Structure 1
């Protein structure tokens, strides 16, 4: 079944630095790179390279034609990516020599779409299709509600974290994905423990400590250990994990296998510099896993 992703499309500006800037500090960058990015685009590329049929719903600005072409060249359906006036969303990403990062986002076209334009992107969506959502666009709650009404599997990433946005989307969410920091922020903001979040499934990513899938109905947990690698850039690792997890579930794999594939994909991705451009392909993931049997 196809995956529909209503998500951000950004121009990622990478600055590779000796260390992350301190307040008031000016640094010379070791080097600079520009790539396609945004949590939405990253997840679409990850899922498509993992072998799923993906349609992206989103927007670019006047400077974003090359972003649209990059998505199309990947084989992603872009008929519902619209071009608007003003800038494409972009991110300034600072990466230090230990692979840690700091990111500043400008929403641009990602927050300028009308609901009618978004809604048209799901005309052909149906039961058992997958809907990917993140917090870098407008109309996320409405999209989640529409996905639920159509019987889609709604996979929602709580990033960038906004407590009000999360609270609004959760009633329409099937798989809720967040990292350890976001889990702590959510618990503090809503006054609930992870076990008390009222969704069918919560997935918590833990970086080098792996990930956990928690069935909220019965409390059962499935742990996915991380693969040990030497990271060079952790930017987009969560998006890689989510895109591959959604693709594996879409292709009918069980939860344990899907988590393992997603963990392998993100392990490969963090050994490369960049985001969408360096998402691994399905054959790379299979080769990686076969070496670790």
Structure 2
């Protein structure tokens, strides 16, 4: 089994700040760093480091060739990461002393995927495979429809969140991953309780309050591990990638939730997004210490 992730690849420009700037305020940062990010790339690396088999599908500009190389170094198949003439996607991220963040995204090459690229990426896919999608690329509805016609399972991490887009995607997905605010907004848009959303599997992350997973009439929950956060950028992506990888590898939902929660707990104690995601061996060591 494998996961094909049609996802964003961003260059993250991270500024640590004493506080988030107010309207009209010019603020001197405390530090600056650039690294690999984007929800798609973060989730692909989490999938791979969790032990999963991952093929990433996306686009970068010439300025992002190092990002493609970094994905390959993490063990991903990058045969369908295409180089564009324009700029790569990027994100400007502010991180405060509490580890919280605000993010501004430029889509760039992430928004230039073609139907030919999607078709090629899914040509050799097997019905047991997962397709993973987010809202940081174009072509997600078309990709979901094609994947379902081939018998694949479709997972959808509905972020950056848009309730109208998520509502259109729901009929074509098997698993949706949202945070608790997004879940409530989607339920309001579709005029039904969260648990009645017409999707088989619902993963709801709740930050420091943990996460829940509903699969039909079964429900599972996990409390978050208590850590001192340094940077929460990419924590949800780490959780989602780890959770899907462990499900795909055959773990039961409760075990997958525990492993994903531990991975996210480790990730937020480190600066950065993709660079902060732990290897599965680190996660098992963490769980051994926190029995």
> Is TM more than 0.5 here?
yes
Within-5 A mapping of 1:39-188:
39-188=39-188
Residues 29-51 of structure 1: CA deviation (Å, up to 9, x unaligned)? 10001001000000000110111
Q: How many residues align?
A: 291
Query: In structure 2, how many angstroms separate the alpha carbons of the residues matched to 1:209 and 1:198?
Result: 25
Query: In structure 2, how many angstroms separate the alpha carbons of the residues matched to 1:289 and 1:200?
Result: 29
Does residue 245 in structure 1 map to residue 240 in structure 2?
A: no
Displacement of 1:212 in angstroms is 0.4
Residues 170-200 of structure 1: CA deviation (Å, up to 9, x unaligned)? 1111111100121122233332220221000
Query: In structure 2, how many angstroms separate the alpha carbons of the residues matched to 1:34 and 1:45?
Result: 17
When structure 1 is superposed on structure 2, of 231-240 and 152-161 the one drifting more is 152-161
Query: In structure 2, how many angstroms separate the alpha carbons of the residues matched to 1:98 and 1:292?
Result: 23
TM-score (norm 1): 0.97
SS at match of 2:63: coil
Is the contact made by 2:14 and 2:95 (CA closer than 8 Å) also made in structure 1? yes
Which consecutive residues of structure 2, in runs of 5 or more, have no partner in the other structure? none
Displacement of 1:141 in angstroms is 0.8
SS at match of 2:122: coil
TM-score (norm 2): 0.98
SS at match of 1:64: helix
SS at match of 1:253: coil
Displacement of 1:285 in angstroms is 0.4
Aligned to 1:196: 196
Is the contact made by 1:155 and 1:176 (CA closer than 8 Å) also made in structure 2? yes
Q: CA RMSD in A?
A: 1.0
Runs of 4+ in 1 over 3 A off after TM superposition: none
Query: In structure 2, how many angstroms separate the alpha carbons of the residues matched to 1:196 and 1:172?
Result: 16
SS at match of 2:113: coil
Query: In structure 2, how many angstroms separate the alpha carbons of the residues matched to 1:150 and 1:95?
Result: 42
Query: In structure 2, how many angstroms separate the alpha carbons of the residues matched to 1:35 and 1:192?
Result: 40
Is the contact made by 2:187 and 2:197 (CA closer than 8 Å) also made in structure 1? no
Aligned to 1:274: 272
Residue 259 of structure 2: which of 258, 261, 264 is its match?
261
Displacement of 1:224 in angstroms is 1.1
Residue 284 of structure 1: which of 282, 285, 289 is its match?
282
Query: In structure 1, how many angstroms separate the alpha carbons of the residues matched to 2:190 and 2:90?
Result: 30
